[in-house]
Amino acid sequence: MGKKLVLIGGGHAHMVTLANLSSLIANGHQVTVVGPSEQHYYSGMGPGMLGETYSPETIRFATRKVVEKQGGTFVLDAVSRIDPLGKKLRLASGATLEYDVLSCNAGSQVTQSAISGNREDIFSVKPIESLQAAQKRLLELAAGGRSRIAIVGGGPSSAEVAGNIHQLMYRHGLQPPKISIFSGPAFMKRFPAKVVDLVRKSLERRGIEIVAGSYVREVTSGRLELADGRSHQADLIFLAVGVKPSPIFADSGLPVGPEGGLLVNRFLQSPAHPEIFGGGDCIYFQDSPLDKVGVYAVRENPVLFHNLLVSLEGGELQPFAPGGDYLLIFNLGDGEGVLHKGWLTFGGRPAFILKDYIDRQFMRRFQAMEQD
Ligand SMILES: Cc1cc2nc3c(=O)[nH]c(=O)nc-3n(C[C@H](O)[C@H](O)[C@H](O)COP(=O)(O)OP(=O)(O)OC[C@H]3O[C@@H](n4cnc5c(N)ncnc54)[C@H](O)[C@@H]3O)c2cc1C
């Protein structure tokens, strides 16, 4: 007898499951995917979309189309609560959904706690859709002669956003804006010195300023306050302050990790509720906590799909092995990149070309699911 499988989110960790929905449905199972958008954007190409290297269509998957084409149900909504005892989901619209097996790929969100008061012209780097709105506003402001941009956050996404804003203005023949990154105590402090140096030099060559030494305490429309008492005026502010897992697990009282991610064992399974699985940024992998990078979400795919199948039909669960070091390439705009893996680090155009090639291949592979 068929079972009810519900997927929360159609993100990076669900790609293989989404590609195989028709086989689950052919075996008599009902599959429902819930998501707040009919498309899913590939974040690795988000900064490139901001800089107009890519169109929005190039970097997104048609989630609803892929689900419905295979006989599944797509529900345009967001999950707000999980009731693990009743095996039910409550949605933002107030509707409820029952499941036998649940898979969570609800991603992560940029922390908004620094914002106070007016939010006009403040954008965050996630969801990736917000980069589209920011792009439109950047061009409007620059055309009106207002182009002081502040980016709050000292990680790679702030560097990628800064470099791609520079590229966007250059492409439109607009005056280069004054772009300042407020990195907190140190810029890209998680990364080796050589990587930081290459990124810094690439940005500074294009006049992008990095302000380090103090956290940003408060952000309001048009202004930043630093913890050391300094303040800074800006026409547009980006928040790139790092991400936290979706709050739905902590809100539902499920066992979670320190930041609120769904606690999962080596089978990507909630130890307290074995019919609940998860992958990507929204989980806390008990055995060895993982960085919030798409690489892990992508690596989890086959194991997550296998274990969902086993939960529906029986068999032996597979453990997830995170694997070794992963390749990082940052797209710094204007055709420049920085690549890092293990002992290998280099910057410039070759790094960008390689990232562009890998990202386009990834998209091609999964966009193929959309074809009739
Ligand atoms: C600007 C930027 C650039 C990045 N570049 C890279 C890179 O080059 N390489 C790399 O490895 N990593 C990169 N990352 C990190 C990467 O974005 C994340 O690790 C990756 O997105 C995690 O994938 P995910 O599927 O878990 O989450 P997400 O991509 O956030 O997807 C989650 C999905 O769940 C849906 N959802 C959210 N809440 C709900 C809800 N309540 N109910 C139902 N559905 C919901 C969302 O709509 C979305 O479709 C980048 C991040 C940013 C911000």
Nearest atom in ligand 1 to 80's CA: 41
265 domain residue, yes or no: yes
Same domain, residue pair 118 and 170: yes
Which ligand 1 atom is at minimum distance from the Cα of 34?
43
Which residue CA neighbors atom 8 of ligand 1 most closely?
Answer: 44
Degrees, nearest 5: CA angle 263-268-270: 45
pLDDT at residue 59 greater than cutoff 90: yes
The pLDDT of residue 372 is above 80: no
Domain end among 194, 213, 240? 240
Question: Looking at residue 166, what is its pLDDT?
Answer: 96
Ligand 1 pocket, residues with Cβ under 6 angstroms: 8-13, 34-37, 40, 43-44, 46-47, 78-79, 105-108, 125-126, 157, 160, 246, 248, 280-282, 292-295, 297
* 218 pLDDT above the threshold of 90: yes
Indicate if 188 and 231 belong to the same structural domain: yes
pTM of the model: 0.94
What is the Cα–Cα distance from 187 to 151, expressed in whole angstroms?
12
Q: Which of 293, 327, 338 to mutate to test the pocket of ligand 1 (most atoms within 8 A of CB)?
A: 293
Evaluate whether 238 touches 130 at the Cβ level (below 8 Å).
Answer: no
pLDDT of residue 312: 98
Same domain, 93 and 13: yes
What percentage of residues in the chain have a pLDDT greater than 90? Answer: 92
In this structure, are residues 333 and 156 in contact, taking their beta carbons and an 8 Å threshold?
no
Instruction: Please check whether residue 268 lies inside any domain of the structure.
Output: yes
Mean pLDDT of 195-210: 97
On whether residue 348 sits in a domain, the answer given is no
Q: What is the pLDDT of residue 115?
A: 87
Q: Measured in angstroms, how far is the CA atom of residue 78 from the centroid of ligand 1? A: 15
Shared domain for 176 and 134, answered yes or no, is yes
Residue 355 falls within a domain, yes or no?
no
Asked if the structure places residue 224 within a domain, the reply is yes
Please give the tally of structural domains in the chain: 2
Domain shared by 137 and 236, yes or no: yes
Which whole number is the average pLDDT over 28-46?
96
CATH number at residue 165: 3.50.50.60
pLDDT at residue 209, rounded to an integer: 97
pLDDT in tens, 142-199: 988 878 999 999 999 999 999 999 999 999 999 888 999 999 999 999 999 999 999 9
Per the structure, the complete domain to which residue 307 belongs is given by: 4-36+77-109+243-326
Q: Is residue 305 part of a domain?
A: yes
Domain assignment present for residue 314? The answer is: yes
Residue nearest to atom 17 of ligand 1 (CA): 43
Regarding whether 308 and 225 lie in a shared domain, the answer is no
Domain boundary (217, 240, 263) is at 240
The answer to whether the beta carbons of residues 171 and 48 sit under 8 Å apart is: no
Co-location of 208 and 279 in the same domain: no
- Which residue has its alpha carbon closest to ligand 1 atom 15? 293
Q: Tell me, yes or no, whether 227 and 251 share the same domain.
A: no
Atom index in ligand 1 nearest the CA of residue 243 equals: 53
- Cα(107) to ligand 1 centroid in Å equals 5
Question: Are 132 and 187 in the same domain?
Answer: yes
Q: Is residue 336 part of a domain?
A: no
Higher pLDDT pick, 22 / 367:
22
